[in-house]
Amino acid sequence: MARKPAHEQFDTLKAIQNGAFDLFGRYGYDGVSIGDISTAANLSKGALYWHYASKEALYLDCLKRLHALFDSYIFDPMRNDSDPARAVIALFSGIGRLLKDPLVENGIAGFWLVPASPETVELEAAQRAFELNSMKVIEGVLSRGVEMGRFDLGGDLEDMSRAIISVVEAVVLPLRHQTPEEVRRTLGVLARTLFRAYDKSGVLPQF
């Protein structure tokens, strides 16, 4: 069979990736079959397998795409801001921007529904590594804030970092069931609560 031109290969690959990302985000790893993805992409299973050797490989690609979104909207801005207070605010404002991205408008809770099995070991490892790295970003920001005298966390630095990761997930996972305005208000309350409890300046962020 003749090889497709490069632009057609790119279009086919994007159709597979977009269809798979949406389906995995809504229904999880077990809730989606190769047949579901090929139907969503309007392709044959053979065309899909030409680009991806397995469902696991395609899911891992989608998972990396999800992690890149989180980095772009949330964790990279936190890493790049030398002011710890602004970096914390960047976390909450970044969540708000993430939730406006068309890629996640149908929900992404499915990416947290990976069953423990031999075939998903690599997928679970990738998710755990991302969550650990994200927690380290948050912990680094909070640590700088403590060193600069901005935050007073007592001995709660690691626990607070873990709690903030849980807050991020708690806001992102029920995405389809909240309006943008509801999300904005929730983020504002969470940010102000955090600053009231731990920020020594007394200045509350506005959302």
Average pLDDT rounded to a whole number, residues 70-81 = 95
In this predicted model, what pLDDT tens digit does every residue of 15-40 receive, in sequence order? 889 999 999 999 999 999 999 999 98
Q: Per-residue pLDDT tens for 113-151?
A: 888 787 889 999 999 999 999 999 999 999 999 999 999
Place of tokens 């529904």: 113
25 with 104: CB under 8 angstroms?
A: yes
Alpha helices in the chain (DSSP H): 6-27, 34-40, 45-51, 55-70, 76-80, 84-98, 121-147, 157-172, 180-198
CATH top-level class of 55-198? mainly alpha
7: confidence class by pLDDT, cuts 50, 70, 90: very low
Q: Global pTM?
A: 0.86
Sequence-distant (6+) residues with CB within 8 A of 111 are 24, 25, 28, 62, 63, 66, 127
